[in-house]
């Protein structure tokens, strides 16, 4: 076999076979190529899959058309391109991505920098992922829809975070973020600018707020699964289901009353049902010293009306159920009571009467001159100094009446007001008045006997005179 190049018997030009080694004496693959030029062309065409016809020029042109002179492919006539190695692409730009589709050359994938991959749509960057695998999106993110919800999962070995940033106008720090703490299962909202936690939601659904909770003028807040809160906009409806405990409590770290059978020691007020089955409201106040509950009414207008229509800054009103509405209680039905622990001591009823339990505290002043003591009391209470002289106050002065339990007397040198202060005791006054009347009755009977007159007849005559 002759040489395929410039050797003896070759018809190939030097451009196609530039070596001087004769294939007839070589062991290379070229030695197997037939010397006949036409047969060689047919063999090449058969190998390439083209029609076995044409000339050397035709085959060269076809090869350069299909594979280009620089070795790249101008077109691949196949449904799928499979690359088992590495495919290199130019960087491209947002307006001319290096990987695109036919007829839409400004949409596709490009590489804006080292270790960065970008996608562009309509010649504008859609998103970029850098070497840290941080993803920057230029538009909105929509996942699924109402009928096909999707899940966004952010995973980290320690904690996962989602940050929202404001980049408008001037340079801004991170403003709001979401963080899922790996060890506590908390979803946290925080302000990175001020380095403070705003809201934390734990695995039990408990929420911890660091700031104010504000709702609009028309929105309502309801608890316990309440779906129809009966409050106005901006109102609060507390529903604790069928539970019988507290519905509302107030705490303060300054408080430590120690009455822990009724409330936690730092609780100073609590609201609960009065009856487990029928309702009602119990308001309890707890204190370490004296005043546990104080009702304080602040008005702007005074009222002097003394009638059934009278009013005042502080009103306590009792209404009785009447069908689906309410009305008044009966004349002798109780309106309010005052108790000492569980024992009722004062009762106020529907016809304006008041009742007091005297228990064992009733006092009869058997060793005192009751009538004279009444005069002493009247003189003590008299504010006109001239009129005071009309009463015998030598024996029954303020201190004596205080010792008897008729009044509680605080002299001006010991009172906070700097004036003599006296508080009447209802039981003391009633006992004193009752004793004085009883005493006068006894004196009148004795006088009638000494005068030889029937006391009952004198009493009837007196009553008759009063009616005239």
- pLDDT tens, residue by residue, 221-280: 999 999 999 999 999 999 999 999 999 999 999 999 999 999 999 999 999 999 999 999
At residue 29, the pLDDT reads 40
Assess whether pLDDT exceeds 50 at residue 2: no
Residue scoring higher pLDDT (248 or 397): 248
Q: Are 420 and 411 in contact (CB under 8 A)?
A: yes
**Weakest mean pLDDT among 45-54, 181-190, 330-339, 421-430:** 45-54
Q: Return the biggest CA–CA distance within the chain.
A: 188
Q: Are 181 and 159 in contact (CB under 8 A)?
A: yes
3-state SS, residue 146: coil
| Beta strands per DSSP E along 341-445 | 343-349, 354-356, 407-410, 421-424
At residue 332, the pLDDT reads 92
* Mean pLDDT across the chain: 79
Q: Are 124 and 138 in contact (CB under 8 A)?
A: yes
User: What share of the chain has pLDDT > 90, as a percent?
Assistant: 35
**Weakest mean pLDDT among 157-166, 290-299, 432-441:** 157-166
Q: Are 407 and 343 in contact (CB under 8 A)?
A: no
At residue 21, the pLDDT reads 53
Q: Are 182 and 156 in contact (CB under 8 A)?
A: yes
- Pairing mode of beta strands 246-251, 354-356: unpaired
At residue 46, the pLDDT reads 63
- pLDDT tens, residue by residue, 399-452: 888 888 888 888 889 988 888 888 888 888 888 888 888 888 888 888 888 888
Both tokens of residue 183? Answer: 């060890």
Nearest to 327 by CA among 319, 317, 336, 335: 319
What's the whole-number mean pLDDT along residues 29-49? 56
- pLDDT tens, residue by residue, 325-361: 999 999 999 999 999 999 998 999 999 988 888 766 6
**Weakest mean pLDDT among 19-23, 66-70, 94-98, 399-403:** 19-23
Record the pTM. 0.59
The band of 3, judged by pLDDT with boundaries at 50, 70 and 90, is very low
Instruction: Output the DSSP codes for 259-320.
Output: -TTTS-TTEEEEEEEEETTTEEEEEEE--SSS-S-------SS-----STT---SS-----E
Q: How far apart are CA 155 and CA 453, in angstroms?
A: 112
At residue 98, the pLDDT reads 93
Q: Where do the structural domains in the chain lie, given as residue ranges? A: 99-137, 157-213, 320-356, 370-467
At residue 253, the pLDDT reads 97
Cβ contacts of 339 within 8 Å, gap of 6 or more: 345
Assess whether pLDDT exceeds 90 at residue 467: no
Q: Which residues of 110-129 are buried (b: 16+ CB within 10 A; e: fewer)?
A: bbeeeeeebbbbeeebeebe
**Weakest mean pLDDT among 94-108, 388-402, 441-455:** 388-402
Residue scoring higher pLDDT (249 or 201): 249
At residue 308, the pLDDT reads 86
Q: How many CA atoms lie within 13 A of 28 on its CB side?
A: 9
């Amino acid at each position: 076999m002759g040489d395929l190049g410039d050797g003896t018997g070759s018809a190939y030009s030097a451009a196609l076979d530039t070596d001087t080694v004769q294939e007839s004496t070589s062991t290379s693959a070229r030695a197997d190529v037939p010397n006949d030029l036409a047969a060689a062309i047919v063999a090449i065409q058969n190998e390439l899959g083209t029609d076995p016809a044409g000339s050397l020029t035709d085959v060269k042109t076809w090869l350069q058309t299909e594979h280009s002179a620089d070795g790249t492919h101008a077109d691949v006539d196949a449904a799928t391109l499979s690359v088992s190695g590495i495919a290199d692409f130019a960087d491209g730009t947002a307006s001319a991505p290096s990987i695109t589709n036919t007829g839409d050359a400004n949409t596709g994938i490009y590489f804006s920098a080292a270790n960065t991959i970008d996608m562009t749509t309509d010649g504008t960057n859609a998103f970029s992922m850098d070497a840290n695998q941080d993803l920057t999106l230029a538009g909105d993110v929509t996942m699924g829809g109402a009928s096909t919800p999707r899940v966004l999962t952010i995973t980290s070995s320690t904690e996962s975070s989602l940050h929202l940033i404001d980049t408008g106008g001037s340079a801004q720090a991170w403003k709001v973020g979401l963080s899922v703490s790996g060890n506590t299962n908390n979803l946290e909202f925080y302000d990175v600018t001020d380095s403070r936690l705003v809201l934390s939601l734990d695995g039990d659904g408990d929420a911890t707020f660091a700031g104010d909770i504000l709702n609009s003028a028309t929105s309502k807040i309801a608890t316990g699964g309440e779906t129809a809160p009966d409050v106005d906009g901006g109102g609060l409806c507390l529903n604790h289901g069928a539970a019988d405990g507290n519905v509302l409590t107030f705490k303060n770290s300054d408080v430590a009353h120690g009455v822990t059978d009724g409330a936690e020691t730092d609780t100073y007020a609590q609201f609960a049902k009065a009856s487990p089955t029928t309702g009602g409201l119990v308001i309890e106040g707890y204190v370490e010293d004296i005043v546990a509950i104080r009702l304080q009414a602040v008005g702007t207008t005074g009222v002097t009306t003394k009638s059934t229509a009278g009013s005042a800054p502080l009103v306590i009103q009792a209404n009785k159920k009447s069908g689906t509405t309410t009305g008044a209680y009966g004349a002798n039905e109780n309106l309010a009571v005052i108790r000492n622990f569980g024992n009722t001591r004062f009762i106020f009823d529907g016809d304006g009467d008041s009742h007091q339990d005297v228990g064992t505290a009733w006092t009869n002043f058997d060793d005192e001159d009751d009538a004279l003591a009444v005069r002493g009391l009247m003189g003590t209470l008299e504010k006109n100094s001239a009129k005071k002289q009309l009463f015998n106050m030598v024996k029954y002065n303020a201190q004596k009446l205080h010792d008897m339990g008729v009044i509680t007397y605080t002299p001006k040198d010991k009172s906070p007001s700097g004036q003599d202060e006296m508080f009447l005791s209802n039981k003391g006054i009633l006992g004193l008045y009752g004793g004085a009347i009883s005493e006068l009755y006894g004196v009148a009977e004795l006088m009638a006997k000494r005068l030889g007159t029937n006391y009952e007849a004198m009493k009837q005559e007196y009553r008759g005179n009063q009616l005239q």
